[in-house]
Structure formats: structure tokens, C-alpha cells
Amino acid sequence: MPSPAIHEHLAAFRALHTDLFQKDFLLTWEHPTEEIRAILTLAETLKRLHQEGFSYRAFDTGLAISIFRDNSTRTRFSFASAASAMGFSLSDLDEEKSQVAHGETVRETMNMISFLTEVIGIRDDMYLGEGNSYMREVGDALDDGAEQGVLHRRPSLINLQCDIDHPTQSLADLAWLKKHFGGLENLKGKKIAMSWAYSPSYGKPLSVPQGIIGLMTRFGMNVSLAHPEGYGLIPEVLEVAKKNAAQSGGSFETVNRMEDAFEGAHIVYPKSWAPFHVMQQRTKLLKASDKEGLKSLEKECLANNAKFKAWECDRAKMDLTHDKKALYMHCLPADITDVSCDAGEVSREVFEQYRVPTYHEAAYKPFIISALMFLTRLKDPGAKLETIVRRAKRLSL
């Protein structure tokens, strides 16, 4: 039988309202705070069911399709794991092996792959101003297919990372913080340092730091965004963070010294990203297939990055944090000094101290994605979850 903790999670979930049925999940700040709480509670319930050896299969048929326009390890396998656990078959759309390579339109492709599809997960984070727009173009194509009677059911879209947000990552991060600090209510007043950190590469997306400042400011946290001059994020997302902080009773600031962000912080999240204006320029060059221009831009940006090698999460900076023991977080893979590179985002010593906690952080992602699949495909998710718990079937191990 499932443990009392699972029944407690079930009761907590049933008390929360959601309105995600047959909808898309593209940006966390498009959804009310109660819905975010429901996603976390459901993910925790599914995680606990799996931990206790119970299946939470919810569907007998249907495809879950993944579209990855960038490399991925954690998110790719988390989506695959979630699809399997839910009872969906997984299919990955490789655009180079499809008719997309021959000029097939988004409208045609999305209808052709969606006849028995329930969920489509998309990662498109390489082109600033393009990824989230592409997801919405896909959504419009699916709307048309459903309205014309071509599709019996319109699949739901889940943003697996775009140019603006990385919602499954930030939700997994929030779930880990909830667990670590003993509840969302305990996050209020906690300081989190979302800091740029040095990396020997230049084109890392903005979506992780933007996802963090866009979500953590909703829970009364004091969010300190740190980066060198010229490494700013998308202005509209900064405005979202400011608005969220004002509404939640937290705070949001931008500083230009890593040490200032780390001072008194309860959580640190040192992560490299490319400057907003660089990503704008890079997108234009990629669209124009300007290889020489891209080489020149990379050389220029790496030289500029090298000016900030001191932006590393090391022991001295960790000693500035609250009680000298802030929780280190990272979406992984981290650029680890003297391990994966000569100089990087985090020292070997600090990363090794927090390596296992970052694995626990990552472990929430398949359950977050499972929860999003569950909520977007079931009209009465509370009743379905109760049925799953009531007739919990042990996994064959």
C-alpha cells in the first residue's frame, strides 16, 4: 500500500485548482501561482509513488513526440522517462531525416505527426527571438488541425527550453528548493544569487537565468541577479521579475559583482550565459549562414569572457554566503575548473561538495514533465490521481 505521505500529497493536490487541460505550457509566468503549486505537488506525489515502487501509468495509448533543436542529456531523457511512465510511446522528430529538410511547412508537419499524438515537447533555444515564437507557430498549426476536424484531439505543447524560459528546469529547481527548505512558505525572505559565471564558451542561452528570476520572485524570495557590465538579459523578462517580486513581498536587484550577490545568500546559482546583444547578433549571423561572421563573433566574445575569469564560484565566495553554507545549484552540465575545463563556472572543490545535491535537483525534472503531461491531458486530474493511488500497482523489478 502507498505510504501515508502519498495520501497527504494527494489531499494537498486535490485542494489546488488547475486549468491546464488541453493547454500548452510555454512560460511559467503565464500561469497562476496556485497552478505552479499544483504542478509541484503532483510532481512530488508521482516521485514518491515511483520511489515506493508503484506505477503511476495514466494512459493506455498515444504518442509523446520530442523535437530537440539543440543538444540535450537531462531534458531529453527526462521527457522520455516521463512519456514511458505515463504510458505513452515516444517518438523523436529528427528534422534532418523528415520532409522538413525538403521545405515542408510547420503547419503541415505538425498536423501529419499529430493524428494520435497527445503531447509534443520542444527544445528550441539557439535563436534569440525565434524559439518561443516557433512553439506558438506550432500551437497555431495544431489549433487549425483541431478546428478543421483533422485532429481528433489537439496535442499539448511543453516547452523543454526556448530562448526566453526553461520552465521544466526552473520548476525542478523550485521543487528541489521546496524539499531542501521544507516547504514553499520557507522560501520567503531567502536570498538567491543568480550569477553569471565564467565559461570557455560563448553561446550559452539566456533561458536558465531568465527562468530562475521569473519564477523565484513569485515566492517572496530576495533575488539578486549578478553579471558583468554588458551581460544583461532580455529587458521584458527583467520587468516580469520586478513585478513578481513586488507582488510577492520579495525583492529583485541587479548587481555587477559576484561577491555582492553571494553576500548573505542562502542559495547560489552560478551559470554562464551569452550577453543579450550578442545573442541578437548571433541569431542574425546564423540565419544568414555567415560562417565567417560567426567565427569573428566567437573570437570577440571569448576574448571578452576571458576578462572575467574571476567570476568563478570558489570557496572564498561561498564563505560570503549565509553561515558560509549556501546551497549550490546548477542546471548541469557545469563547467568545472580543472575537471571539464582549465577555468570555469565553479571550482572542483565546491562542485564536488554539492555534486550529489545537484543530482537530486536534476532528479525532479522527469516528474515535473510527468506532471505537465498529466495535467494537460486529463480533464479531472485529481480524480485520476486518486484512482492511481487507490489501486497502486507495484512495478515489476
pLDDT for 1-17, tens place per residue? Answer: 899 999 999 999 999 99
∠ Cα 390 395 397 (to 5°): 155
- Selection from 96, 27, 87, 32 nearest residue 59 by Cα: 87
Percent above pLDDT 70 for the chain: 99
| CB-based contact 146:157 (threshold 8 Å) | no
| Region 388-395 average pLDDT | 84
CB 131 within 8 A of CB 162: yes
281 or 365, which is more confident?
Answer: 365
Q: What is the DSSP string of 144-213?
A: HHHHTTS-SSPPEEEEEEESS--HHHHHHHHHHHHHHHTSGGGGTT-EEEEE----S-S---SHHHHHHH
One-letter amino acid for residue 217 of the chain: T
Equal CATH topology for 4-165+365-390 and 169-362: yes
Residue 279's pLDDT band, with cuts at 50, 70 and 90, is confident
Distances (CA, A) of 381 to 42, 52, 240: 9, 21, 29
Q: In terms of Cα–Cα distance, which of 359, 377, 375, 376 is closest to 41?
A: 375
207: cell is 533561458
Any idea where the domains of the chain sit in the sequence? 4-165+365-390, 169-362
Q: Is 346 helix (H, G, I), strand (E, B) or coil?
A: strand
Whether the Cβ atoms of residue 256 and residue 227 lie closer than 8 Å to each other: yes
pTM: 0.96
Read off the C-alpha cell for 113: 505527426
Buried residues in 168-180 as b, exposed as e (16+ CB within 10 A): bbbbbbbbbbbeb
Q: How many CA atoms lie within 13 A of 243 on its CB side?
A: 8
Q: What is the pLDDT of residue 293?
A: 93
Phi, psi of 181 (to 5 degrees): -100, 0
CA-based diameter of the chain, in Å? 63
**Given pLDDT bands bounded at 50, 70 and 90, which one contains residue 114?**
very high
DSSP 8-state assignment for residue 307: G
Distance CA 49, CA 42 (A): 11
Least confident of 86-90, 137-141, 260-264, 281-285: 281-285
Helix (H, G, I), strand (E, B) or coil at 235: helix
Q: What is the pLDDT of residue 203?
A: 79
> What's the CATH code, domain 169-362?
3.40.50.1370
Residue-wise pLDDT tens digits, 337-384: 999 999 999 999 999 999 999 999 999 999 999 999 999 999 999 999
Q: Which residue has the cell 553561515?
A: 323
Q: What is the DSSP letter of 138?
A: H
In the chain, % of residues over pLDDT 90: 87
For domain 4-165+365-390, give the CATH superfamily: Aspartate/ornithine carbamoyltransferase (3.40.50.1370)
Q: What DSSP line would sit under 39-60, residue for residue? A: HHHHHHHHHHHHHTTB-----S
